[in-house]
Structure 1
Amino acid sequence: MLPEVNLRPPFNITRASHVVLHVADLARSRDFYANIVGLVVSDEADGICYLRGLSEACHHSLVLVQSAGQATCKRIGFRVFLEEDLDLAYAFFQAEGLPAEWADVPYQGRTLHVEDPYGTKLELCATMDTRPRMHLEIEKFKGAHASRLDHYQIFSPDTYASCAFYSRLGFRNSEYLAHGDRLLGAFMYRKGTCLDLAIVENDGPCLHHFAYTVAESHQIFTACDLAGIHGYSTAVERGPGRHGPGGMLFVYLRDPDGHRVELFNSHYQTIDIEIEPVRWDAATLSTNVRWGLPAPRRWYFEATPFEHSDLIATLNRPNPETLESYVAKLSAHF
């Protein structure tokens, strides 16, 4: 069912690192992420804002870029372990016939821009400027006290093919979602927890969401309360709830441009080689598993496109139970 993993990949990706988003109103987006999500502003310049979580020492995990055009995702970033891994990555993508070019990015060391086979735009770097961690500066905390960037979820028109590509780069699966022999969702990691990259079959490439950890579960409810106080009550899109895959408490918020951010309370270790991926059956799974309503339809199908990427339609668009279909089914009994 799952593609074979290359345990000695051509270069060493260590973790999800940072995401770069275009936004229509930089001040409003900065306010959302600082005062509701609880990120720390590292630096600001004309038309750009760099933010990080409370426990993050590296300069940024979220970059907001003022844009007059569509609110797209510019790049999702991964760290590699050594400088030489960047050269190995460049050679790999060149050999695969995939885009690869060097970029000059503020606050980062040498940076490589590449794309996966479906046009997902990636940014690789080995080093980044650092700032003091803020996790003990309790008097300065705001919002939901987001701690660190953990993972991304992307849409791919072919989950198996995308999973096979990232498996070649050393990504392993913690859990996966299947229907018969068809792979619908792959939950992949490099850093030894459940996730760095989730891949779900849908029209893509798109960024479904990026996720920050919170230290305490009540901070998930704090995010919801503050969203309501600051005029973003309808931005609370899904949850609070508990995932089936991963088992963590969560909430999903939509920022002022519709980019989706998840807050959740961490998850388990997966670093040991003998740990086998967990299979979930799409035909019987409610991703809430034990309690909570299904997600609204927009959670399944709306996502942020990548900048300058053509959308590829999947041959097998998912047909999940949604909040709307669940309510319609209940209404039919009355």
Structure 2
Amino acid sequence: MLDTTWIQPPFDIVRAAHAELIVTDLQRAKEFYVHLLGLVVSEERQNVIYLRGYEERLHHSLALRQGPVAMLDHLAFRVASPEHLVLLARFYEQQGCPVRWVQNEEEGMEQALRVQDPCGFIVEFFYFMQPVESLLRRYDLYRGSHIQRIDHFNLHVPDVQSAFDYYKQLGFRCSEYTVTSSPDKQLWAAWLYRKPTIHDVALTNGTGPRLHHLGFWVSEAQDILHTCDRFAAAGQNMAIERGPGRHGVSNAFFLYLRDPDDFRIELYTCDYFTGDPDFEPMRWTVDDPRRGTFWGHIAPVSWFEESSLVKGLDGKPAQLQLASLKERPMTVI
């Protein structure tokens, strides 16, 4: 039986806040994220573009930076106050993790804490980011997929149980989880949250550390259907990897796209509220055909096997470890 008891640490992580991707062709990436998906450009420099959704009030939720190898640079979470950065630094130092304070390394940000976490990802924590105008009600400016905000990170990790235990220490709660078939029933995937929705982070069994996908929230299912039509009309139908469909896990309506560097992007809507103090997580088995796609559709092999590299402390792709569990479902999360 999985222990999902909530642990409340002395620091308060608010939500998944932004990610930075290293892309090999910034102009091709801009065509995908700005002209097709319709993300808003907050700021553009020679080698980096900062983007956000229409609802967002902070400078950026996605940064695209030119580089020689496509990989995740870092993930970032916002905390509730500047003092909590100090508490997090102390926590990671006690864990024996590399810790570094950064200043003005991203446009719109001042001080932040960067660590390499026990799962092998470079993770940033911050409190302040330059505020910008929310365009939520500027319907006259809406373009592309009408993306409102960043929602979650999905990570391929070789040992989901140890990653789950680590995120529990950070104060994350579990909304849903998947176990392998009897008799062992080991943890295969978990959805963990800080904001009161299904997840800020999903942990999936697989070779890692790798980034499986970034999830972005749209207001309604029609935005996802419109995206499919838009990509097809632009001759970019091959970018559609999976969906549209409805997940069993999370109940969300979804679409998965692949960008020019094969980063996987999910458009996501219609999940549910998890903010009640007595909320109990839902358990699935890996062989339940409704889990990955509620309608029973089988996902492509690429969805299981392919994920994006992540940057290590030396600036090169982090060394990978094989997944500890070999079982693979017929459908996916």
Q: Which residue of 1 aligns with 2:226?
A: 222
Where do 1:157-236 residues align within 5 Å? Answer: 157-179=158-180, 180=182, 181-236=185-240
Measured after TM superposition, the shift of residue 288 of structure 1 is 4.4
Measured after TM superposition, the shift of residue 150 of structure 1 is 0.5
Measured after TM superposition, the shift of residue 243 of structure 1 is 0.2
Q: Is residue 2:74 matched to residue 1:65?
A: no
CA contact (8 A) 2:289 2:330 kept: no
Distance across 2 between alignment mates of 1:17 and 1:285 = 32
Distance across 2 between alignment mates of 1:320 and 1:296 = 12
Distance across 1 between alignment mates of 2:114 and 2:10 = 17
Post-superposition Cα deviations, 1:12-64, rounded to whole Å, max 9, x if no partner, equal 11100001001111111112111222210000011000000000010000000
CA contact (8 A) 2:251 2:270 kept: no
Q: Is residue 2:272 matched to residue 1:268?
A: yes
Q: Which residue of 1 aligns with 2:325?
A: 316
CA contact (8 A) 2:219 2:269 kept: yes
Distance across 1 between alignment mates of 2:293 and 2:61 = 31
One-letter amino acid of the structure 1 residue matched with residue 87 of structure 2: L
| The 10-residue stretch of structure 1 (301-310 or 241-250) with the greater mean CA deviation from structure 2 | 301-310
CA contact (8 A) 1:15 1:196 kept: yes
Does the C-alpha gap of structure 1 residues 7 and 237 become closer, same or farther in structure 2, counting only changes over 3 Å?
A: same
Post-superposition Cα deviations, 1:59-81, rounded to whole Å, max 9, x if no partner, equal 0000000112x200000110111
Q: Which residue of 2 aligns with 1:301?
A: 305
Aligned residues: 322
Unaligned ranges ≥5, structure 1: 324-334
Distance across 2 between alignment mates of 1:112 and 1:74 = 14
Distance across 1 between alignment mates of 2:63 and 2:163 = 26
CA contact (8 A) 2:291 2:331 kept: no
Post-superposition Cα deviations, 1:110-136, rounded to whole Å, max 9, x if no partner, equal 111112212022111011001101121
Q: Which residue of 2 aligns with 1:145?
A: 146
One-letter amino acid of the structure 1 residue matched with residue 94 of structure 2: A
CA contact (8 A) 1:6 1:169 kept: no
CA contact (8 A) 1:10 1:169 kept: no
Q: Per the alignment, in what secondary structure is the counterpart of residue 270 of structure 1? A: coil
| The 10-residue stretch of structure 1 (3-12 or 113-122) with the greater mean CA deviation from structure 2 | 3-12
Q: Which residue of 1 aligns with 2:129?
A: 128
CA contact (8 A) 1:213 1:266 kept: no
Post-superposition Cα deviations, 1:196-235, rounded to whole Å, max 9, x if no partner, equal 0000111111110011111121110111112122332111
Distance across 2 between alignment mates of 1:173 and 1:40 = 32
Distance across 1 between alignment mates of 2:149 and 2:248 = 22
TM-score by length of 2: 0.93
One-letter amino acid of the structure 2 residue matched with residue 49 of structure 1: I
Does the C-alpha gap of structure 1 residues 265 and 107 become closer, same or farther in structure 2, counting only changes over 3 Å?
A: same
Unaligned ranges ≥5, structure 2: 313-317
Measured after TM superposition, the shift of residue 193 of structure 1 is 0.8
One-letter amino acid of the structure 2 residue matched with residue 144 of structure 1: S
Distance across 2 between alignment mates of 1:97 and 1:8 = 21
Q: Which residue of 1 aligns with 2:258?
A: 254
Distance across 1 between alignment mates of 2:266 and 2:95 = 33
Measured after TM superposition, the shift of residue 89 of structure 1 is 0.6
TM-score by length of 1: 0.93
CA contact (8 A) 1:10 1:92 kept: no
Where do 1:80-159 residues align within 5 Å? Answer: 80-104=79-103, 105=105, 106-159=107-160
Measured after TM superposition, the shift of residue 284 of structure 1 is 2.3
Q: Which residue of 2 aligns with 1:38?
A: 38
CA contact (8 A) 1:3 1:167 kept: no
Q: Which residue of 1 aligns with 2:24?
A: 24
Q: Per the alignment, in what secondary structure is the counterpart of residue 161 of structure 1? A: helix
CA RMSD of aligned residues (A): 1.5
CA contact (8 A) 1:203 1:317 kept: no
One-letter amino acid of the structure 1 residue matched with residue 122 of structure 2: K
Q: Per the alignment, in what secondary structure is the counterpart of residue 291 of structure 2? A: coil
Identical aligned pairs, as a percentage?
37
One-letter amino acid of the structure 2 residue matched with residue 75 of structure 1: H
